[in-house]
A and B are shown apart, each in its own frame.
Chain A
Amino acid sequence: MCAKPVRKKSPTSIRNYDKDLLKSFYETMMKIRYFEQNIQEKFLAGEIPGFVHVYIGEEATGTGIMTNLRSDDYIQTTHRGHGHTIAKGAELKRMMAEIYGKKPGFCKGKGGSMHIADFSVGMLGANGVVGGGYTLATGAALATRMLGKDQVTVVFFGDGASNRGTFHEAANMAAAWDLPILFVCENNQWASTTPYRTTTSVEDIADRAQGYGMPGVIVDGNDVFAVYETARKLIEDIRKGSGPALLECKTYRIGGHFVGDPEMYRTKEEVQKVFKENDPISRFEERVLDEKVMTREELDQIKEKVLKEVDEAVEFARQAPEPDPSELYQDLYV
């Protein structure tokens, strides 16, 4: 049943897309883009501490997938998780406050960018440990099934993380027990400074699905329509009880591995070329204008709204109080 992975194409036309859905794609992608651009800027200005990894250039993947999820569905994300968190519906102000290490942040300033979570929208956590999330997500999927619910859990991971043994253990367990979970590999070509092909046994990570008896599917991760439609079918099936699946989204990490990365391992030209030809947001704009399903004014309106929202989040985070040292021991034990 599970042969080589299937490659999904972009829909031939988007004329039948609901206007609100199109708007929401653009709004979410732009929200992520502005949010991340702000993070870069504020980090380099010394306002944001710690380690931050941005999702610029990968917005279509998280957006296309999350649009298919209900608010009670779960996601488990990674060190590069801002985009997923936003797409799952997290409030920008509290999210930004957390990244600034402020008290009103989701984690009261105890987590930061790499350890952010918002359980109120089903975001079970980022993970500072690469590949640390698979097994947790598998457990969440197990719990939803034991509780008789029809929730779906999605776990995101990078091409680098696909080489962790935790992937194998979770994929086997999920498949052996037919759990309602979607494994989403965001293959952005880079694992930190290493081109994934130099350290990974296969060209397509979705090939590995066969070994677990689950379907493997490949999609252009920079095409929000293709991601959305492919994920919709997979998530519908999983919700109905088909068991797990692996979706590989081919994308590209436009930013450095972390903000401030000198990127000695690749040329600016390479990155600029991809950004010019394959930026998911420009591609969306071109396509909706081309097929005349949205107007330039509509796009601009959304942009404006989103810019304002992100600016407000930054202002909120800047003004927010820091945690008091007396909170150090809070929440260690219940």
Chain B
Amino acid sequence: MREITFSQATLEAMDEEMSRDETVFVMGEDIARQGGIFGQFKGLPQKFGFDRVKDTPITETAIVGAGVGAALAGMRPVVDMHFADFMGVCMDEIFNQMAKIHYMFGGQKTVPVVLRAPDGLINQAAAQHSQSLEAWFMHVPGLKVVIPSNPADAKGLLKSAIRDDNPVLFFEHKALFRMSGPVPEEEYLTPIGKAKVVREGKDVTLVSYSLCFNTCLKAAEMLDKEGISVECVDLRTISPIDKNTILESVAKTTRLAVVHEAVKQGGVGAEISAIVAEEAIDYLDAPIVRVGAPFTPVPFAKPLEQAYRITPEKVADAIRKMF
């Protein structure tokens, strides 16, 4: 299969969906003239015009709010957040407006908006440009939260997100944009809300997502050589969460580890651990393990950032202790 980058994969998704549906448009800071920080919008304005690929003022509150309003009036906006870190600026528009409109107005109107939010560690960008904030949003009913780990899923999930009538937050790790991977040439959609068992194993279930999932695959290879067989589950969507895939895997392997780049405290891992503790504790042969970032802002200096980062070694160490 041909290989393209994550950035190109999302660009293809945008191109295909904008060609398919005239109501799809995209707006954000520095996306049209510049093509996006990661080249993820390059060429779109030349093809679809600067009205459908819009450079906005630096005004996150208005960009997201206008996305919601445009959705109410018949469009299907895709809004680029520039950096996920800036979502705090428009939090009200996300959790009080976008997330609630369909429910609190009794289903009168759908809110088909996609927020694309580049997140995660890259190039020592430090405290305000490196965060992984997805857990905040799995606490908000009404939102879907999607978080792919590779180019093929990024394309398929972005297309599904754009066609979804619910608001969808699409977290894309900044370090993934240049990652290459096989992506089918024919059209396909990746379902939202379905996790994927990417690597089968029998001793421990390793649940992760986004860039970190790739870290987990490396850890699994290391452990394999030591005789520990790791099943790797890529969540792909964290809300609604695919409980069944996790529970089935845990029933088979009897051990659970959850790994993410986001801060461990109050993270997605806490929710998954609780689900397994509530619904499958009898299957477990070892305490659940969570690997996540330390409870600090993201530091700047290299050694500090290195200490903060989740590595295959850290994941492998944590899993060894389960045996």
Using a CB–CB cutoff of 8 Å, the interface residues on chain A facing chain B are 74, 76, 105-111, 115-120, 124-125, 127-129, 132, 134-144, 146-147, 165-166, 169-170, 172-173, 176, 330-334
Rounded to whole angstroms, the CA-CA distance of A331 and B142 in the bound complex is 9
Residues of A within 8 A of B66 (CB): 135-136, 138-139, 142, 170, 173
Which single member of A115, A117, A140, A173 contacts B73 (CB below 8 Å)?
Answer: A140
Tell me whether A332 and B75 are in contact (CB under 8 A): no
Residues of A within 8 A of B67 (CB): 139
Tell me whether A170 and B103 are in contact (CB under 8 A): no
Which single member of A107, A118, A147 contacts B104 (CB below 8 Å)?
Answer: A107
Residues of A within 8 A of B104 (CB): 107, 110-111, 115
| B61 on the A face (CB < 8 A) | yes
Tell me whether B97 and A124 are in contact (CB under 8 A): no
Tell me whether B103 and A331 are in contact (CB under 8 A): yes
Which single member of B23, B96, B103 contacts A110 (CB below 8 Å)?
Answer: B103
Which single member of A115, A120, A129, A141 contacts B92 (CB below 8 Å)?
Answer: A129
B52, B69, B72, B141 — which one has the most chain A CB atoms within 10 A of its CB? Answer: B69
Rounded to whole angstroms, the CA-CA distance of A125 and B69 in the bound complex is 10
Residues of A within 8 A of B61 (CB): 135, 165-166, 169
Task: Please name 10 pairs of A and B residues whose Cβ atoms are closer than 8 Å in the assembled complex, sorted by A.
Answer: A107-B106, A119-B105, A124-B72, A136-B66, A139-B77, A143-B72, A165-B61, A166-B62, A169-B61, A332-B141
- Of B11-19, B36-44, B107-115, B125-133, the segment with at least 4 beta carbons within 8 Å of chain A is B107-115
Tell me whether B105 and A135 are in contact (CB under 8 A): no
CB closest residue in chain B, given A166: B61
Tell me whether A173 and B70 are in contact (CB under 8 A): no
Tell me whether B65 and A135 are in contact (CB under 8 A): yes
Rounded to whole angstroms, the CA-CA distance of A140 and B69 in the bound complex is 5
Which single member of A125, A129, A170, A173 contacts B105 (CB below 8 Å)?
Answer: A125
Q: A125-B72, A138-B65, A170-B66 are in contact. List 5 more A-B contacts (CB 8 A).
A: A135-B69, A138-B69, A332-B103, A333-B102, A334-B165
Interface contact tally, CB-CB below 8 A: 148
Rounded to whole angstroms, the CA-CA distance of A189 and B164 in the bound complex is 44
CB closest residue in chain B, given A118: B108
Which single member of B64, B70, B93 contacts A140 (CB below 8 Å)?
Answer: B70
Residues of A within 8 A of B62 (CB): 134-135, 138, 166, 169-170, 172-173
Residues of A within 8 A of B100 (CB): 115
Residues of A within 8 A of B106 (CB): 105-111, 331
Tell me whether A332 and B72 are in contact (CB under 8 A): no
CB closest residue in chain A, given B27: A142
Rounded to whole angstroms, the CA-CA distance of A169 and B69 in the bound complex is 14
| B88 on the A face (CB < 8 A) | no
| B170 on the A face (CB < 8 A) | no
Report the minimum CB–CB distance from A163 to chain B (whole Å): 14
Given A110-B105, A117-B108, A331-B103, A139:B73 Cβ within 8 A = yes
Rounded to whole angstroms, the CA-CA distance of A172 and B92 in the bound complex is 19
Residues of B within 8 A of A74 (CB): 73
Rounded to whole angstroms, the CA-CA distance of A165 and B65 in the bound complex is 13
Residues of B within 8 A of A172 (CB): 57, 59, 62
| B171 on the A face (CB < 8 A) | no
| B71 on the A face (CB < 8 A) | yes
Which of B156-188 touch A at CB < 8 Å? 164-166
Tell me whether B102 and A334 are in contact (CB under 8 A): yes
Report the minimum CB–CB distance from B23 to chain A (whole Å): 8
Tell me whether B166 and A334 are in contact (CB under 8 A): yes
Given A139-B69, A143-B73, A107:B96 Cβ within 8 A = no
CB closest residue in chain A, given B58: A169
CB closest residue in chain B, given A334: B165
Report the minimum CB–CB distance from B248 to chain A (whole Å): 23
Tell me whether B74 and A132 are in contact (CB under 8 A): no
Tell me whether A115 and B105 are in contact (CB under 8 A): yes
Residues of B within 8 A of A129 (CB): 92, 96-97
Report the minimum CB–CB distance from A311 to chain B (whole Å): 25
Rounded to whole angstroms, the CA-CA distance of A334 and B165 in the bound complex is 6
Given A135-B65, A170-B65, A176:B105 Cβ within 8 A = no
Report the minimum CB–CB distance from A303 to chain B (whole Å): 32
Residues of B within 8 A of A141 (CB): 69
| B319 on the A face (CB < 8 A) | no
Tell me whether A124 and B69 are in contact (CB under 8 A): yes
Residues of B within 8 A of A106 (CB): 105-106, 108
Tell me whether A136 and B65 are in contact (CB under 8 A): yes
Contact digits for B75-111, partner A, Cβ 8 Å, 1 yes 0 no: 1010000000000000011001100111111111110
